[in-house]
Amino acid sequence: MTTAYRELTRSNFQIYAAKAYKVQPVSMRTFQEDCDTISRISLSLSKFISSGEEKFLKLAINNVVIACNCLDVDFVVRSTFLLDSRNLENHLACLFTWLEIMSDELRINSTLTIRPDRTQFDFGMLAKLEEFTQERPR
């Protein structure tokens, strides 16, 4: 576990985000836009779950990539769970595990620890993710 983010909360999110930020120097507006990408991960995933439209799953993956290009990967994963207001814990864990950027247990802070239950993963979503990795005929 990365100790740098062991007590990540909504109140200290911006401080840790600044420490995790890989792009320097930038304007506050750009920094905030990059941080907002983290919230868009769960928003896109939520839209995929409710609609089943592949474009929203691709958008969620794209938002993960963008966020990880700007911010420390561990911070992105932890922050996504922290900021998720849609109760997508297992779906997020499924996505992050598939992307190989999350371990089996993740402590966000003293009151929030994520223990993904692989039996509760969305296997339809996993199948769709696997489709993305296969070569498509031209």
CB-based contact 42:86 (threshold 8 Å): yes
CA angle 48, 51, 52 (to 5 degrees): 65
Q: Which residues contact 105 (CB under 8 A, 6 or more apart)?
A: 113, 114, 115, 116
The reported pLDDT for the residue numbered 72 is 94
The separation between the first and the last C-alpha atoms of the chain, rounded to the nearest angstrom, is 43
Residue 114 pLDDT > 70:
yes
> How far is 138 from 120, CA to CA, in rounded Å?
35
User: Binning pLDDT at 50, 70 and 90, where does residue 116 land?
Assistant: confident
Most confident of 11-15, 98-102, 114-118: 11-15
Written as six digits, the tokens of 94 are 């499924």
User: Binning pLDDT at 50, 70 and 90, where does residue 5 land?
Assistant: low
> How far is 56 from 17, CA to CA, in rounded Å?
25
As a whole number, the mean pLDDT across the chain is 89
User: Binning pLDDT at 50, 70 and 90, where does residue 17 land?
Assistant: very high
Mean pLDDT of 80-85: 94
Residue 1 pLDDT > 50:
no
Written as six digits, the tokens of 57 are 């799953």
The reported pLDDT for the residue numbered 122 is 84
Domain coordinates of the chain in residue numbers?
Answer: 23-133
Residue 137 pLDDT > 80:
no
Mean pLDDT of 57-82: 96
